Amino acid sequence: MSKKEILLLFAAIGFIIMWILDLRAGLPAGLEPTFWNKIFYHYSFLMFAMVCLFYFQYTKQVRLKKEEEEAKNKPAEKPKDDKQAQRKALMKGKK
């Protein structure tokens, strides 16, 4: 995983933890407990976490696609034949 992916994953986990703690704390005294106030106050951290997770998934897919393209474009290496290399070295020494 790249550094960007690790940071995004940790940020998402952090926002989820903050969301859970925020749900347990309730609303501050200054806010009226209406439906929309609860939604906007509590679920902003959850939305930040979802954005981080979606962007994490996007960067992961981009990285995997690049790795696949590099693997396709990379020429296949021949396995080294040690016996053949030894024969060539011996033949050079005999001449």
pLDDT at 57: 95
The domain tally of the chain equals: 1
- Name the residue range of residue 30's domain: 3-94
Q: What is the DSSP letter of 31?
A: S
Cut 0.85: pTM above it: no
CA-based angle 85:87:88, to the nearest 5?
Answer: 65
Quick: pLDDT tens for 13-48. Answer: 999 999 888 888 877 778 777 878 777 778 888 999
2: tokens are 């790249």
Check if the beta carbon of residue 51 is closer than 8 Å to that of residue 9.
Answer: no
Residue 18, judged by CB atoms within 10 A of its CB (0-12, 13-18, 19+), counts as middle
In this structure, of 1-10, 19-28, 49-58, the range with the lowest mean pLDDT score is 19-28
28: tokens are 């501050």
